[in-house]
Amino acid sequence: MARGSPDAPAITGVVLAGGLARRMQDGRSDIDKGLVGFRGRAMVAHVLERLAPQVDRLLINANRNQDEYRRFGHAVVGDAIAGYAGPLAGLHAGLQAATTEWVVTVPCDSPFFPHDLVARLLQAAQADGAELAVARTGEQPHPVFALVHRTLLPNLEQFLASGQRKIDRWYAPLHTVAVDFPDPAAFSNINTPDELAALERPDAPFPVSLPLAEVERGTEGFDRKALPVVAARAIMERFIAPIDSPEQVELPQCLDRILARDIVSPIDVPAHDNSAMDGYAVRGDDLDPQAPTRLVVVGTAFAGRPFDGALAPGQALRVMTGAVMPTGADTVVIQEVVHTEAIEDAAGVQAVIIPPGQEVGQNRRHRGEDLAKGRPALRAGKRLTAADIGLAASLGIGTLSLQRRPRVAFFSTGDELLSLGDAPVPGKVYDSNRHTIRAMLTRLGVEPIDMGVVPDRREALHAAMLEAGRVADAVVSSGGVSVGEADFTREVMAQVGEVSFWTIAMRPGRPMAFGRVGNAYYFGLPGNPVAVMVTFYFFVRGALERLMGASATTPATMRVRSRSAVRKRPGRTEYQRAMLGRGEDGIIEASVTGSQGSGVLRSMSEADCMMVLGHDQGSVAVGDWVEVIPFHGLL
Ligand code: AMP
Ligand code: MG
């Protein structure tokens, strides 16, 4: 715990965990809210972690399970007045126990309070000469988030002695300052098992599921007609709640799936201290730092075949890489630097001569050094790689808890579309989007549901959307959102869900629809084949990963030199199809591929990266540095 400057007044943080938590009981009476498990730890641990950097000292106010609370390493005080008298009783106990000038209280079930809570309360109290500062968002006071001067203790004692218990009553006559904070959600607390479950995922939105219009309003830079790419992404991220329905899956089927729960190591890895090299295990104390040391070789240990017995002074053990270190030995000398000789009169027994200059402890791997028992080996939200699969196996774990794959329905819209197998017709085009989308969804690891081509007819679109919103977790469609067609789509969407139509400040891919239809999130992509891919990669992919319960990832970007000149005006993000190569000086360069028309799929197919020209950027000259995202890993 370390706060600002040394001359700042000292503050004790009091975590209020003294209540009965009736709404958390769920029919049981033994649940203590602060100790309830949340995201892999006790609830109170989250609160302590957030408060610790803001104060000088911590106290926990608890009336039950005090020993368990003590395990968090801070003093625990119970109420001095009987009968679970609420937060004021906790504050009272805290003020009595604290020796600092100020005490700040936070409840044990609010793990999201602001990181600058205490600093702002203190600043306001000092500026106002107040003895008490209380957090507020809008009209809503948060009286249990309070900074209280120690001189208020006698006043509080009197108040409690008169039989009163209400915290806001106590505040009323005092010189109090209300301190405004922007985000009401930060002060929410977790009261019921349902809320707890809904928030279990580390990135669950809080509070859970706001209406889309509200999310849009609360997003910086929101402008439906010229929506910056970052703002569109932020809206999706805040609107989409991850699926959390784990299923048990055998290791061979786990590759590329999303881990639902942390994997905690059931063992130490390695399980024993062992040798990192082929050589001789010795006692470091035996080694002469100045001269060669002669030790008697008492046996051999192989990986998987330990030596039983301890090493006595003067002895060495021949060891192979991975062999368990014998008791007594702490150092391994590699075989290349020693020599051995037969010991006279002792048939078959050898001595090993070790040169000076060895370091005690060298070439030994410690038990648990890669991974200690009880530590998380893999975190929930990880997309499992080959290494992760191997790691799980190395811990003896053969079944993992994975998030189920979301079902994603997709269809194309347009009267001009031909399906594969249809004979070519003048004026019509083959539906390629559905196949591109299916391929991208498959790569992402969701379960694709092909709903075919939907004609440009109100009833057909209506029926398709209803069906998709019933069977899927998400729906992706192409076409029908551009200005000419949007009116018609808009009417249908208004009937079936909550969908917003955006013009995104990007190229290609300006029009897009987003929202919710039935039980599914909806992504209405443009019709142009390249725009479909770009909007999928830069919006849908991240959004579906979030839905899948995956931790947020950003595609890897590289800064490379441009071999092409590109005209661009600030105010929108542009994605240019490009190819990587090397300049004569060996530096990696990108050149833009042929026509960048948003219908030209061929130049997408030729490209191996996307050049991303940011919102505020202007034109690019040959030789300028630009950002690219290689397709490797995306496609
Ligand atoms: P839209 O956004 O529906 O106006 O479509 C824009 C352009 O993309 C038109 O030229 C369409 O013919 C074309 N397009 C729309 N959907 C598809 C599709 N599924 N496959 C290929 N091209 C399409
Ligand atoms: Mg169309």
Q: Model confidence over 343-402: pLDDT tens digits? A: 888 788 999 999 999 999 999 999 999 898 888 899 889 999 999 999 999 999 999 999
CA gap 395, 404 in Å, rounded:
23
Q: How do 474-478 and 520-525 pair as beta strands?
A: parallel
Query: 531 C-alpha to center of ligand 1: Å?
Result: 10
pLDDT recorded at residue 306: 94
Q: C-alpha angle with apex 158: 155 to 159, nearest 5 degrees?
A: 85
pLDDT recorded at residue 538: 94
Q: Which residue has the higher pLDDT, 504 or 553?
A: 504
- Write the DSSP assignment of 272-322 as a string of letters: S-EESSSEEEE-GGG--SSS-EEEEEEEEEBTTBPPPSPPPTTEEEEE-TT
- For ligand 2, a single-atom ion, which residues have Cβ within 5 Å? 414, 479, 527
- Give the 3-state DSSP-derived string for 399-454, with helices as H, strands as E and coil as C: EEEEECCCEEEEEEECCCEECCCCCCCCCCEECCHHHHHHHHHHHHCCEEEEEEEE
pLDDT recorded at residue 2: 46
Which atom of ligand 1 approaches the CA of 482 most closely?
Answer: 2
- Write the DSSP assignment of 496-543 as a string of letters: HEEEEEEEBSEES--EEEEEEETTEEEEEE-SSHHHHHHHIIIIIHHH
Residue 258 forms beta bridges with which residues?
A: 383
What the block records as the tokens of 159 is 């108040």
Q: Tell me, rounded to whole angstroms, the distance of Cα 301 from its chain centroid.
A: 44
pLDDT(5) > 70? no
pLDDT(245) > 80? yes
pLDDT(167) > 70? yes
* Cβ–ligand 1 contact at 414 (below 6 Å): yes
- Least Cα distance to 185 among 207, 163, 166 occurs for 207
Residue linked to tokens 């051995």: 340
Tell me the pLDDT tens digit for each residue of 468-517: 999 999 999 999 998 878 778 989 998 999 999 999 999 998 999 999 99
Among 87-101, 188-202, 209-223, 541-555, the range scoring the smallest mean pLDDT is 188-202
- Please give the DSSP secondary-structure letter assigned to residue 583: -
* Cβ–ligand 1 contact at 527 (below 6 Å): yes
pLDDT recorded at residue 140: 77
Report the pLDDT averaged over residues 65-70. 92
Report the pLDDT averaged over residues 269-287. 96
Contact at 8 Å (CB) between 517 and 464? no
Report the pLDDT averaged over residues 188-214. 70
pLDDT recorded at residue 206: 46
pLDDT recorded at residue 529: 95
Q: Which of 22-31, 200-209, 551-560 has the highest mean pLDDT?
A: 551-560
Radius of gyration for the chain, computed over Cα atoms and rounded to the nearest angstrom = 33
pLDDT level of residue 467 (50, 70, 90 thresholds): very high
For 161, residues 6+ apart whose C-beta sits below 8 A from its C-beta are none
Contact at 8 Å (CB) between 279 and 322? no
pLDDT recorded at residue 486: 76
Which atom of ligand 1 approaches the CA of 453 most closely?
Answer: 19
For residue 613, give the H/E element and its range: strand 609-613
The values of phi and psi at residue 273, to 5°, are: -60, 135
**Cβ-based burial of 212 (10 A; exposed 0-12, middle 13-18, buried ≥19):** buried
Query: 431 C-alpha to center of ligand 1: Å?
Result: 8
Contact at 8 Å (CB) between 343 and 361? no
pLDDT recorded at residue 192: 74
What the block records as the tokens of 575 is 């994605």
pLDDT(83) > 50? yes
pLDDT(416) > 90? yes
- What percentage of the chain has pLDDT greater than the value 90? 72
CA gap 232, 511 in Å, rounded:
12
Query: Sign of torsion, CA 324 325 331 333?
Result: negative
* Cβ–ligand 1 contact at 111 (below 6 Å): no
Q: What is the pTM of this model?
A: 0.67
CA gap 177, 232 in Å, rounded:
38
Report the pLDDT averaged over residues 401-418. 96
Contact at 8 Å (CB) between 149 and 105? no
Q: Which ligand is nearest to the CA of 433?
A: 1
Among 57-61, 86-90, 240-244, 566-570, the range scoring the smallest mean pLDDT is 240-244
pLDDT(3) > 60? no
* Cβ–ligand 1 contact at 432 (below 6 Å): yes
CA gap 12, 118 in Å, rounded:
10
pLDDT level of residue 303 (50, 70, 90 thresholds): very high
How confident is the prediction for the chain on average, in pLDDT?
91
Q: Taking the C-alpha atoms of 472, 476, 478 and 482 in order, what is their torsion angle to the nearest 10 degrees?
A: 110
What the block records as the tokens of 118 is 């205490």
Q: Which ligand is nearest to the CA of 477?
A: 1
Q: Which residue has the higher pLDDT, 330 or 82?
A: 330
pLDDT recorded at residue 7: 63
Give the C-alpha distances (Å, rounded to integers) separating 57 from 14, 108, 300, 476, 529: 9, 16, 55, 52, 60
Q: Which residue's C-alpha comes closest to atom 15 of ligand 1?
A: 527
* Cβ–ligand 1 contact at 416 (below 6 Å): yes
Mutation test of ligand 1: which of 415, 428, 430, 433 has the most ligand atoms closer than 8 Å to its C-beta?
Answer: 433
What the block records as the tokens of 585 is 């000086």
Tell me the pLDDT tens digit for each residue of 588-620: 999 999 887 877 899 999 999 999 999 999 999
Which atom of ligand 1 approaches the CA of 526 most closely?
Answer: 2
Residue linked to tokens 């991850």: 242
Tell me the pLDDT tens digit for each residue of 306-321: 999 999 999 999 999 9
pLDDT recorded at residue 180: 86
User: 621-627: long-range contacts at Cβ-Cβ below 8 A with a sequence spacing of 24 or more?
Assistant: 621/562, 621/565, 622/562, 622/563, 622/564, 622/565, 623/561, 623/562, 624/561, 624/562, 625/559, 625/560, 625/561, 625/562, 626/559, 626/560, 626/561, 626/562, 626/590, 627/557, 627/558, 627/559
* Cβ–ligand 1 contact at 244 (below 6 Å): no
Q: Which residue has the higher pLDDT, 2 or 125?
A: 125
Which atom of ligand 1 approaches the CA of 416 most closely?
Answer: 12
Q: How do 263-264 and 376-378 pair as beta strands?
A: antiparallel
Q: Which residue has the higher pLDDT, 130 or 140?
A: 130
Report the pLDDT averaged over residues 235-253. 90
* Cβ–ligand 1 contact at 485 (below 6 Å): yes
Tell me the pLDDT tens digit for each residue of 570-587: 999 999 999 999 999 999
CA gap 627, 613 in Å, rounded:
7
